[in-house]
Amino acid sequence: MDQQKTGQYLKKLRNEKKLTQEQLAEKFNVSSRSVSRWETGRNLPDISLLVEIADFYEVDVREIIDGEAMPREEEKKQEVAEKMADYAKQEKSRLLKFIQVISFAGVIIGIVAIVLQMLTYEPDLRKSGAILLTLIVTGVMAVISLYVAGILQKIVQNRKLFTTIKVVTIVLTGIVTTYALLGILTIGIFYLMGAAAKVEVSNDISGYQTIFNSPGSEKYGVLSTGRFDIFPGQITGDMQVKDYQYMYYNPFDAQHIAYLTVKYNEEDYRNETDRLRQIGVEDFIGIYSVSAEPDGYDLLAMDLDEYSGFVYAMIPEGANAEREITYVGIEFCNYSLDVDIHQYLPDEYLLKDFDASDNNLYRQKMLP
């Protein structure tokens, strides 16, 4: 069929009715731009509108399709049916081409997404599920694309090609499935390790030397790497321990929470405060939502690591007639603690507004 001819005929019929494009568009509830496209042959009315347009102009549908008038008495039902079928076929062809373009674009995007996810893959249930889901969606889009393009039927008829594609598909599916299962298995192992780990708490100061000075110890090694050098190297006989507790937990990575309050004699107090002031206080405001030092205390020394926590020493505000120093250590991994810190550290020793709970705001900022 000649779309240009059909368009000119539609324009002729509208002019005979003395209607504008806008008036005709309003009649059929379409835009004036659509009417303009019909009459220029750039597009044609939907098949559902074709009969209504023919009735409105009091012409036969065949005349619109042919783009010319013909004697009414020569109507041929079979010819009309054939022309309607041809019209519908063209409309279907346009739709299939659109679906084909969208499908091919989806396949390309899916392949790129799978490659990028594989390159940055780390064992994780959500990531594994995302890769598997992306593979399924990409496969479905590929089948749709091949079917719409008519290639699928040819592939099925070509046994060698069909067999090759099946083998490649099975191999790729196996690889992705292996990664997904590996992620699930790894997560399961970590979960079991976490479930088996137990929190260990000690209030026995006689074990201080073992805990804080055990180079090479798998259990306490982190304490001897320098992070806890703010704490005293040892507890001597002239040091009066007022408060002490040490917590150890290792579900995946070691976590330590310790506090120690010591009363010194006058000389040792002066020497210890001098040592701590030489270490200095790092800028800690904003790290893990911390807004200030603990209420009622002045910090003497601070060693912080944005990834794994704080170690600090402090004295009560004002005159410290009791010559007491409190040491606090909070050591963890991956921007969060797996325990409730309030269970293992008195709130009076805790930096104000400190939050290292799971999914804390600072973790969200550092691991977007």
Looking at the predicted structure, is the pLDDT value of residue 183 above 70? Answer: no
pLDDT, tens only, 92-107? 667 667 776 777 777 7
pLDDT, tens only, 34-90? 888 888 888 888 887 888 888 888 888 888 888 787 765 555 555 666 666 666 666
Rounded mean pLDDT, 299-306:
92
Confidence band of 224 (pLDDT split at 50, 70, 90): very low
What is residue 248's three-state secondary structure? strand
More confident residue, 360 or 251: 360
E strand residue ranges, the chain = 200-202, 240-249, 255-263, 297-305, 309-316, 324-331
The answer to whether the CB of 311 falls within 8 A of the CB of 260 is: no
**Long-range contacts of 139-142, Cβ-Cβ distance < 8 Å, separation of 24 or more:** 139/169, 141/103, 141/106, 141/107, 141/110, 142/103, 142/107
The answer to whether the CB of 298 falls within 8 A of the CB of 314 is: yes
| pLDDT, position 342 | 94
Q: Domain segments of the chain: what residues? A: 3-75, 95-196, 200-366
Rounded mean pLDDT, 116-123:
66
pTM value is: 0.52
pLDDT, tens only, 335-361? 999 899 999 999 999 999 999 998 899
How far apart CA 248 and CA 243 sit, in angstroms, is: 17
| pLDDT, position 346 | 95
Rounded mean pLDDT, 154-158:
66
312 bridge partner residues: 302, 328
Q: Which two tokens stand for residue 342?
A: 């309030």
Rounded mean pLDDT, 293-309:
92
Looking at the predicted structure, is the pLDDT value of residue 170 above 90? Answer: no
Please state, for a pLDDT cut of 70, what percent of the chain lies above it: 74
E strand residue ranges, 117-217 = 200-202
> Hunting for tokens 């009715």 — which residue is that?
17
The answer to whether the CB of 32 falls within 8 A of the CB of 46 is: no
| pLDDT, position 300 | 95
336 bridge partner residues: 333
Q: Considering the domain 3-75 in this protein, what is its CATH number?
A: 1.10.260.40
More confident residue, 155 or 327: 327
Please state, for a pLDDT cut of 90, what percent of the chain lies above it: 28
Mean pLDDT for the chain overall: 80
Looking at the predicted structure, is the pLDDT value of residue 215 above 60? Answer: no
